[in-house]
Amino acid sequence: MARPFSATSKGSAPARPDQVSRTIIPVEVMDVMLSDSHPEYEKQPNVTIGAIKGRRYDTERGKPVEALPWYNPIDPSDLKIPLIGEAVLLIESPNQGIINRPKSKDLCYIATVGILGAISNNAFPANTKPVGSNETPTTFTGNMGPSIVPQIGDYVPSIFVSPLVAFEGDRIIQGRWGNAIRFSNTSNGSKDQTFWNNSGTDGDPIVIISNGIEELEELTRIEDLNDGSSNLILSSTQELEIEASNKLPVGYSKLNQYANSQIVLSSDKIVLNSMEDNVVISGKKGVSISTPEWKADFTEMMDILKDLLSEMKAQADGSSPFVTGAGPTGINAKSKTVLGSIETRLGNLEQ
């Protein structure tokens, strides 16, 4: 019989044969390579867009900016561009020579450090006191260097961006400018009310892409479909608290009463523009168009047009002629009834 496992009976683990010490170094961002128009782009053949010039907090305080090295992002396909004055972490990673030299490596930056705990800006403010003979503002770790180096704050957001409220298990990507992507679930047991957590089963997925902030004074925020921001929602079982800008056609449920998978676009203006082929709108039950003047189900609208054309054709080919004779044209009772019905149906589509 096998002996049960216990923590006390477990032997010591053997040493790993490939134990290697990894280096992680925090640096202050002094410059960022944003495009090939940067004055040092042509001089640095191995530097990619998104690279930063960094000053180590431990050994390079006060070192001139022009003498500092450049560091590439660890993954140029997934850039998170830091601001000047923010801190990033460097990590050893293989470089192009790794095939021929197993120990060939460089330092690349992997993440921005939220030193100040802010969404929009985690840069330490510049020290305005001169350092030695340098009369220009200085960074946290020392001198700014030549004038070609941007000053702290040149492209830092001037507004406070409040962070999104999080729900258990969320993955949230937040931009500095008030845009975000949230991978979440129903979370209807949360005390924080949202437009999606009033119904549905906990654990059912929802994706929210949001852009814009209406209230800038709040310490935290939750996405809102009715505040003028731009939003894209991919839902599963949630009823979404969204209001239609106009009344819907008769027979259509309110937008917040549907609880199956749906895609919702919400913004002050929506443009669908196909450059080469068709725009296709297909609804299994129907398609509606709602404006301030009309609330039209497309099927009903086309049926009205079809009935009107049918009656006009009947009069044109003589199968339903008007009564004629001396004096004014007589009344065609059948046409009067049909056209009256068409007029009523059309009137029902008006707001």
- Summarised one tens digit per residue, pLDDT across range 205-214 is 999 999 998 7
Taking alpha carbons only, the member of 122, 138, 148 closest to residue 55 is: 138
Q: Give me the pLDDT at residue 133, please.
A: 47
Q: Are residues 122 and 227 in the same domain?
A: no
CB neighbourhood size of 112 (10 A):
18
Q: Give me the pLDDT at residue 85, please.
A: 87
Residue 278 lies in a domain: no
Domain boundary among 273, 296, 312: 273
Encoded tokens for 76: 């140029």
Residue 7 lies in a domain: no
Mean pLDDT taken over the chain: 82
Q: Are residues 180 and 127 in the same domain?
A: no
Going by pLDDT thresholds of 50, 70 and 90, the confidence category of residue 150 is: low
8-state DSSP, 66: G
Task: Identify the residue whose tokens are 């990033």.
Answer: 88
* Residue 297 lies in domain: 284-322+331-351
Q: Are residues 29 and 120 in the same domain?
A: yes
Residue 344 lies in a domain: yes
CATH, residue 90: 2.40.50
Residue 4 lies in a domain: no
291-337 residue pLDDT tens: 899 898 989 888 988 888 888 877 776 666 666 554 455 567 777 78
Is a pLDDT exceeding 50 seen at residue 130? no
Q: Give me the pLDDT at residue 7, please.
A: 41
Lowest mean pLDDT among 98-102, 106-110, 208-212: 98-102
43-85 residue pLDDT tens: 888 899 999 999 999 899 888 888 999 999 999 888 999 988 8
Q: Give me the pLDDT at residue 340, please.
A: 82
Q: Are residues 26 and 132 in the same domain?
A: yes
Length of the chain: 351
Q: Are residues 154 and 168 in the same domain?
A: no
Q: Give me the pLDDT at residue 1, please.
A: 42
Domain count, the chain: 3
Which residues are registered as beta bridge partners of 70?
Answer: 53
Residue 6 lies in a domain: no
Q: Give me the pLDDT at residue 331, please.
A: 63
Q: Are residues 265 and 289 in the same domain?
A: no
Q: Are residues 183 and 245 in the same domain?
A: yes
